[in-house]
Amino acid sequence: MQLKFLAVLVSSAVCSSLALAAVPNVSEATKASAEAINSDPVMQKIKKELETPEAQKWRFNTHMEVVRIASPSRSELRRQEELMRRFVQEWGIDEKNVMSRVGGNLPGAGLQKVDGLPVYNACVRIPGTYSQTAGAQTYAGQGPKVLLEGHIDTVNPPVLPPKDKPYMPIKLQKADSPLVKTPQELAAIPDELHFDKNGKIIEDENYQKAYKRYASLDDAIVKGGYRLYVPGYNDAMINTAAVMQIAQILTKYKVKPVYDLWVCGTAGEEGKGNLAGMKQLYGYSQDTGKGNNALNFVANISADSTRPGSGAVNYLGSYRFEIKYIEPKGVKAGAQQPSALMAMNRAVAAIADLKTPYDLDKKAERTTYTVGVGECTKAPEGGRSEECTLMVDMRSPTPEPLLAIRSKIEPKFQEAMDAENAKFGLKKGDPKAVKMELVWFGDRPAHRRTNYDDPVVQIHWQAADTVGIDQRKALAEGASSLNDNVPAAVGVPTININVGTPAAGGGGHTWYEWGIPGDGKAEGNRVYRMILMGLMAAGYNTADGKVVKPLLDPMGKRTTEEVYK
Amino acid sequence: MKKLLLIGLFGLCSVANAAVFEVEMTGPGGHSNGNYGNVNAVHAGARAILALEKALPCASAYNFKGGATVNAIAGDTRFLVNTGVCKEDAAALQEKITAAVKQGADEENAFRSVKAGDLVKGFPAEIRFSVKQVGK
């Protein structure tokens, strides 16, 4: 790691301050790898093709066709199945290179189910040549692999809709109109994108309105552009569609990496998804806090940002609790007896009044919390809700403040139950008392890099220079909670970047999520940059028969040898 | 005997005045970390329920439902209020429930320093609410 003091001009020449910023040292081997791969004629053809209007349209159409498939975390089966179908039937990928299975199994992974549920990853392999080399190393029979991924779950709708209504509408609204304020207003917008019976977008009048690319929201407003509303537009299907194009185009050009390159649409990044997709891929057990990396990934590159130039290198830790309050069955409305609903709401109200150090001083480490869900069972006629459940999320970049907020929140669960029981002179355990149970505990391990010179950071840095897109003066050291938390926790170097390029967007994690298509040529270059990053990590066989060596050793990191179910 | 019957009828009549109310509260929602600082409709709903407990102890909330997922700031909350054992008429009940819900909304807005008319990325920043009678 090299820390450079960068002089930052604060205001004109009058005053300046010094900011400490990390800039990776890039090795000569990394520079040479980027140069050799990028100058290969096949790679240059790929770069050019990704910039073309046809490739831009491929990304947009794929994005729209897939994002409308409702895909709540842990119920991604329909989006997964559609991607799996496209791999083989549309994108020319040989069935033997489709690594995941409809239904959620991933052969070779060191863990199959997460929180007792199947994991709907959609993964393909671009096979490498490493296994054919003399002395090739494997881990328990698994050759080295590099993972490129984007997630396929979306916060809304929170529950999988019925089979006969699998799609979310994609509504169009002039960009200069104010945002809709209610779901009813959104539903009342007449213009929407249309799709045929095979799920393909129809290029009608509305398509012409929707598919125009702009530099910014202002540009879209001036030029009469449209805003596209659909949950998952930015988070994360604009990125994931671009990642899928990597699988399609590397297959088309018969690219031969050295190590296998895996391209995945991953399940369970959001909310109760609990990073299920990554936990399966890296064999990470929440019970032990360790990962076996049975598939032997040596590097990880994720795309889940819509900010050009972003590269998340540190990962916010989070704890999540799902707590259920239960009252005896059959209590009538108005009865003078402890209530599950009141117990839950006492807990929520107490949590809602907490202030983190960051709430009090924005210079403190960004520590946040939210009760994301409060939900009670439907009451019978004249009765009460018998069970109420809250879900709370808390986050911080480092363990100490995270533990501090947890130590404030966790006692509130029981205090609320005790207060509700005490109101009626009861104690825990009385037959009429409200009970409490922990339904689910989520753990995203925090990780702060100690070395900004690891191969993946170097690759990220050099690839930007080589492609000439999204170069930065320094790494952004802020932390985010991402799929990368899992590989980072098992020691596999990882980075999370931006690929999909909206002109503007908003409403992330809400029913009114929206976006406007952005610079398609720059987006093509970002896809190419992600390909270059993957091939620098995995190694590359050039068109004239030379081998550009992988920048990572063939044995992936792991924190346990234990294999999980 | 006649006296007992009259008392019984009076009791039935007072119950018949009671009504069911639907409360809806909405906010801008957002990512739990990225949009931290936005008001939260579930937090507001809980504040409203506790205010209602004080203002109208005879009322009983049920079918509470708010938010989409654990890592999103809740953008909506809905619950029903049964006033079956309350003595007040429907108009008085509506007034008390509305005041309690407003108190919950005001507390949540104040906690996050949100004022009426503020916008967050073009969307109303404050908790908005409605209370309507949906049944007897």
Query: Which tens digits make up the pLDDT trace of A108-146?
Result: 999 999 999 999 999 999 999 999 999 999 999 999 999
Q: What are phi and psi of A374, to 5 degrees?
A: -135, 125
The Cα angle at residue A558 between residues A557 and A561, in degrees rounded to 5: 135
Asked if residue A302 belongs to a domain, the reply is yes
- Three-state SS string over A51-97 comes to HCHHHHHHHHHHHHHHHCECCCCCCCHHHHHHHHHHHHHCCCCCHHH
- Predicted local distance difference test score (pLDDT) of residue A351: 98
- Residue A269 domain flag: yes
User: Same structural domain for residues A131 and A241?
Assistant: yes
Do A277 and A412 belong to one domain? no
pLDDT at B23 over 90: yes
What is the average pLDDT value for chain B, to the nearest integer? 88
Split at pLDDT 50, 70, 90, the class of B18 is low
What's residue A173's pLDDT?
98
> What are the structure tokens assigned to A161, written together?
């809709």
Q: With an 8 Å Cβ cutoff, are A342 and B53 in contact?
A: yes
Is A10 a residue whose pLDDT tops 60? Answer: no
* Residue A13, pLDDT above cutoff 60: no
Task: Tell me whether residues B69 and A481 touch, CB distance under 8 A.
Answer: no
- Of residues A414 and B13, which shows the higher confidence score? A414
Q: Is residue A187 part of a domain?
A: no
Asked if the Cβ–Cβ distance from B43 to A371 is below 8 Å, we say: yes
Is A84 a member of any domain?
A: yes
Cβ contact, residue pair A373, B42, below 8 Å: yes
Query: Which amino acid type is present at position A25?
Result: N
**Residues A533-543, mean pLDDT to the nearest whole number:** 98
Q: CA nearest A373 in B: which residue? A: B67
Selected residue of B69, B86, B88, B129 to mutate for chain A interface (largest A Cβ count, 10 A): B69
- How many distinct structural domains can be found in chain A? 2
- Give per-residue pLDDT as tens, A437-495: 999 998 888 898 999 999 999 999 999 999 999 999 999 998 888 999 999 999 999 99
Per-residue pLDDT at A421: 98
Q: Are residues A274 and A156 in the same domain?
A: yes
* Residues in chain B, overall count: 136
* pLDDT > 80? residue A537: yes
Q: What share of chain B is helix, strand, coil (3-state, %, to 5)?
A: 40, 30, 35
A433 and A452 housed in the same domain: no
Indicate whether A281 and A330 sit together in one domain: no
Of A378, A384, A509, the CB nearest to B31: A509
Of residues B33, B49, B122, nearest to A395 (C-beta): B33
Q: Are A547 and A266 in contact (CB under 8 A)?
A: no
SS3 A414: helix
Among the partner residues A316, A349, A375, nearest to B33 by beta-carbon distance: A316
Quick check: A172 pLDDT over 60? Answer: yes
Q: What confidence score (pLDDT) does residue A217 get?
A: 97
Residue B13 predicted with pLDDT over 50: no
Q: Which residues contact A46 (CB under 8 A, 6 or more apart)?
A: A249, A250, A253, A255, A528, A531
Are A379 and A241 in a shared domain? no
A199 versus A20: which is more confidently predicted? A199
For range A524-535, the mean pLDDT: 98
Contact A379 B73 (CB under 8 A): no
Whether A377 and A407 have beta carbons less than 8 Å apart is answered as: no
Residue B85 has pLDDT above 60, yes or no: yes
Report chain A residues whose CB lies below 8 A from the CB of B54.
none
What's the token pair of residue A16?
């300046």
Predicted confidence (pLDDT) at residue A14 exceeds the cutoff of 50? no
Helix (H, G, I), strand (E, B) or coil at A374: strand
The tokens describing A96, both together, are: 């033997």
For residues A33 and A119, membership in a common domain is answered with yes
Q: Which of A91-95, A177-181, A442-446 has the lowest mean pLDDT?
A: A442-446
A351 shares its domain with A437? yes
pLDDT at A446: 86
What domains are there in chain B, each with its CATH number?
2-135 (3.30.70.360)
Across residues B2-16, what is the average pLDDT? 38
Residue with tokens 């009090």: A360
Distance, first Cα to last Cα, chain B: 30
Q: Supply the ipTM of this predicted assembly.
A: 0.89
Residue-level pLDDT at A28: 98
Angle at A534 (CA atoms; ends A532, A535), nearest 5 degrees: 65
Out of A373, A376, A508, closest to residue B34 by CB = A508
Query: Do B45 and A383 lie within an 8 Å CB cutoff?
Result: no
A413: left (phi over 0), alpha (psi -120 to 50) or beta: alpha
> Quick one: tokens of A43?
């790679």
Q: What is the pLDDT of residues A394-413, one digit of tens each?
A: 999 888 899 999 999 999 99
Domain that holds residue A401: 317-444
Q: Which of B33, B85, B123 sits opposite A368 (nearest CB)?
A: B33
The answer, yes or no, to whether residue A9 has pLDDT greater than 60, is no
Whether residue B9 is predicted with pLDDT greater than 50 in this model: the reply is no
Inter-chain CB proximity A341 and B28 less than 8 Å? no
Residues from chain B that touch A270, judged by Cβ atoms under 8 A, are: 69, 71
Domain at A380, CATH number: 3.30.70.360
Instruction: Give the pLDDT of residue B11.
Output: 36
pTM, entire model: 0.85
Task: Determine if residue A320 is left, alpha or beta; phi over 0 gives left, psi from -120 to 50 gives alpha, anything else beta.
Answer: beta
- Angle (nearest 5°) at CA A123 between A122 and A125: 160
Which segments of A41-198 are extended strands (E)?
122-126, 145-151, 171-174
Indicate whether A172 belongs to any domain: no
Q: Is the pLDDT at B2 greater than 80, yes or no?
A: no
Q: Could you give the 3-state DSSP secondary structure of residue A33?
A: helix
* Mean pLDDT of the residues in chain A: 94
Q: List, for residues A282-299, the tens digit of each pLDDT value.
A: 999 988 889 999 999 999
How far apart CA A311 and CA A547 sit, in angstroms, is: 28
CATH number at residue A494: 3.40.630.10
Are A155 and A304 within one domain?
Answer: yes
Which residues of chain B are within 8 Å of residue A405 when distances are taken between CB atoms? Answer: none
* Residue A265 and residue A247 share a domain: yes
In a domain, A210, yes or no: no
Residues A460 and A348 in one domain: no
Give the model's pLDDT for residue A400. 87
Q: What percent of chain A has pLDDT over 70?
A: 96
Domain end, chosen from A425, A444, A463, is at: A444
pLDDT score recorded for residue A234: 97
3-class DSSP state for residue A293?
coil
